[in-house]
């Protein structure tokens, strides 16, 4: 039956009850049963950020310039904290956006506009050279802006191969991409090499630190080995970092940073030729939730450096425990050497996608990867309490699939 708008508004309890009932069959993210999509730090900071979100529920960051100087200040302070964490030089700039995809769209557009602003380049299409592991958001950006995206195979360590990327560049290359880390394997690309390549070839390098941007700096402070990836490297011209992942901020919240303010200006959109007057947006979207801006400010200030160091220590310990548990299973291996808490697990004698299907039947939504065929984790604090029940079910499923012969089932679809 088609749902129609009710004649009269329903009572609050009916509405909240109906929503709860509709979500009753969802996977339980609170119990760490999801491999992606949800993050939490499970601390008082989260309640504070939630209160800040609803305190600013109705305000619109589109109007920050004219109507909401408070939001403008909050955003500037969030950006300033991000710039410091990501070791930006003086003169750098940044913006809040609604997510990693928008941050990437904004940076790709800025690089394209900068390239087309050069003498004689206005009509050049332009191409992007990225490792094969780059997020699909770059393909989306290329699609939207009619740019060519060249995906280049990664090295044996699953990290970017700078010489292969150099070979893929030509006079129309407007952008190089590296990830810190990439989603599929959780390894940080050789941003140091890409930085040198970018400087040598006068290309714009964007670092996609969407998932790593608010955990890798704290991992480094803890003495964890983190390869250089941020704005401290001179060839990095822009960088995206999602507050709504390991920053634990309420969605939608991300940041995009530029080494130089003049590069940031290429991101802005301005239009004057319509009846209403000059229209300006800093980012891609128009209306943006002011609630997410206030909540991000609240989360950063509620956590503080110590809160993030503590959550990062726990996440890294947890990742080490997951790796050990997998390594203890004969025939299984971790793919490459993941730097943070994302990892892929592969097996030679058994189809881990079938193990994934078995886990799904037991209420887990496992991440999967196709190359090599395996399982994928993006571990956060939500998975801390899940480790024992997860491995109980994983061990049982692994045994069941092996007992059944373990052969690959190509019908299993890998979705994100
Ligand atoms: C999550 C992610 C993105 C996209 O971010 P959204 O917030 O989902 O739009 C881009 N790159 C990497 C590496 C990511 O993990």
Ligand 1 center from residue 243 Cα (angstroms)? 11
The total number of structural domains in the chain stands at 2
Residue nearest ligand 1's atom 12 by CA = 210
Q: Which of 301, 323, 349 is the last residue in one of the domains?
A: 301
Q: Is the pLDDT of residue 28 over 90?
A: no
Question: Which phi and psi angles does 114 have, rounded to 5°?
Answer: -65, -45
- Ligand 1, pocket-test mutation among 37, 242, 247, 249, most atoms within 8 A of CB: 242
pLDDT digits (tens, 9 = 90+) for 151-160: 999 999 999 9
- State whether 222 and 342 are in the same domain: no
Q: Is residue 249 part of a domain?
A: yes
User: What per-residue confidence (pLDDT) applies to 153?
Assistant: 98
- State whether 285 and 355 are in the same domain: no
Task: Write out the residue range of the structural domain in which residue 67 sits.
Answer: 48-301
pTM value > 0.75: yes
Pick the range with the lowest mean pLDDT from 1-5, 195-199, 234-238, 308-312: 1-5
Q: Which helix (H) or strand (E) holds 332?
A: strand 332-334
Pick the range with the lowest mean pLDDT from 14-23, 156-165, 221-230, 405-414: 405-414
Q: Do 382 and 46 form a contact (C-beta atoms < 8 A)? A: no
What is the residue-averaged pLDDT of the chain? Answer: 95
CA 300 from chain centre, in angstroms, equals 18
Q: Is residue 27 part of a domain?
A: no
Ligand 1 center from residue 49 Cα (angstroms)? 21
Q: Is residue 4 part of a domain?
A: no
- State whether 96 and 209 are in the same domain: yes
- State whether 66 and 157 are in the same domain: yes
Mean of pLDDT values over 40-59: 93
Q: Is the pLDDT of residue 42 over 80?
A: no
- State whether 296 and 315 are in the same domain: no
Q: Which of 276, 301, 326 is the last residue in one of the domains?
A: 301
Q: Is the pLDDT of residue 216 over 90?
A: yes
Mean of pLDDT values over 290-299: 98
Q: Is residue 408 part of a domain?
A: no
- Under DSSP, is residue 217 helix (H, G, I), strand (E, B) or coil? helix
* DSSP letter, residue 60: B
Residue nearest ligand 1's atom 3 by CA = 100
- State whether 68 and 207 are in the same domain: yes
CA 320 from chain centre, in angstroms, equals 21
Q: Cβ neighbours of residue 163 under 8 Å, at least 6 residues apart?
A: none
- State whether 292 and 182 are in the same domain: yes
Q: Is the pLDDT of residue 27 over 90?
A: no
Q: Which of 274, 301, 328 is the last residue in one of the domains?
A: 301
Q: Tell me the Cα Rg of the chain.
A: 22
Q: Is residue 383 part of a domain?
A: yes
- State whether 388 and 287 are in the same domain: no
pLDDT digits (tens, 9 = 90+) for 297-340: 999 999 999 999 999 999 999 999 999 999 999 999 999 999 99
Task: Kindly give the number of the ligand 1 atom that is closest to the alpha carbon of 342.
Answer: 15
- State whether 315 and 282 are in the same domain: no
Domain of 231: which CATH number? Answer: 3.40.640.10
- Ligand 1, pocket-test mutation among 96, 183, 191, 380, most atoms within 8 A of CB: 183
* 38 pLDDT tier (thresholds 50, 70, 90): confident
pLDDT digits (tens, 9 = 90+) for 51-109: 999 999 999 999 998 999 999 999 999 999 999 999 999 999 999 999 999 999 999 99
The ligand 1 site (C-beta within 6 Å) comprises 99-101, 135, 137, 179, 183, 208, 210-211, 242, 254
With CA atoms as reference, report the closest residue to 225 among 193, 187, 257.
187
Domain of 377: which CATH number? Answer: 3.90.1150.10
- State whether 189 and 86 are in the same domain: yes
- State whether 159 and 285 are in the same domain: yes
């Amino acid at each position: 039956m088609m749902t129609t708008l009710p004649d009269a508004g329903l009572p609050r309890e009916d509405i909240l009850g109906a929503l709860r009932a509709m979500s009753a069959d969802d996977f339980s993210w609170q119990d760490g049963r999801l491999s992606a999509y949800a993050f939490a730090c499970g601390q008082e900071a989260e309640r504070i950020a939630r209160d800040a979100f609803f305190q600013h529920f109705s305000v619109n960051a589109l109007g920050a310039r004219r109507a909401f100087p408070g939001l403008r200040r909050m955003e500037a302070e969030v950006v300033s904290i991000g710039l410091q964490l990501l070791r930006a030089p003086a003169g750098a700039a940044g913006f809040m956006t609604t997510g990693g995809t928008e941050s990437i769209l904004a940076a790709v557009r800025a690089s394209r506009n900068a390239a087309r602003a050069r003498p004689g380049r206005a009509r050049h299409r332009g191409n992007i050279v990225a490792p094969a592991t780059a997020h699909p958001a770059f393909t989306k950006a290329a699609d939207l802006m009619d740019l060519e995206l060249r995906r280049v195979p990664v090295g044996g360590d699953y990290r970017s191969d700078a010489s292969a990327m150099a070979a893929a560049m030509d006079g129309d290359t407007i952008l190089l991409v590296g990830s810190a880390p990439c989603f599929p394997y959780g390894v940080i690309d050789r941003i140091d090499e890409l930085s040198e390549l970018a400087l040598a070839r006068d290309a714009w390098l964007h670092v996609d630190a969407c998932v790593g941007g608010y955990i890798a700096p704290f991992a480094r402070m803890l003495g964890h080995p983190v390869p250089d990836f941020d704005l401290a490297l001179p060839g990095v011209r822009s960088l995206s970092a999602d507050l709504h992942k390991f920053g634990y901020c309420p969605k939608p919240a991300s940041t995009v940073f530029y080494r130089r303010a003049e590069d940031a200006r290429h991101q802005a959109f301005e239009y004057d030729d319509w009846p209403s007057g000059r229209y300006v947006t800093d980012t891609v979207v128009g209306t943006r939730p002011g609630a997410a801006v206030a909540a991000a400010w609240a989360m950063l200030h509620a956590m503080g450096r110590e809160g993030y160091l503590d959550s990062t220590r726990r996440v890294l310990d947890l990742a080490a425990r997951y790796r050990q548990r997998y390594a203890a299973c004969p025939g299984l291996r971790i793919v490459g050497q993941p730097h943070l808490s994302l990892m892929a697990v592969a097996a030679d004698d058994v189809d881990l996608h079938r193990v994934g299907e078995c886990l799904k039947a037991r209420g887990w939504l496992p991440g999967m990867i196709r190359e090599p065929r395996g399982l994928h984790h993006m571990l956060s604090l939500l998975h801390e309490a899940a480790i024992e029940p997860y491995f109980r079910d994983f061990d049982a499923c692994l045994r069941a699939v092996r007992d059944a012969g373990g052969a690959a089932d190509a019908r299993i679809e890998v979705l994100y």
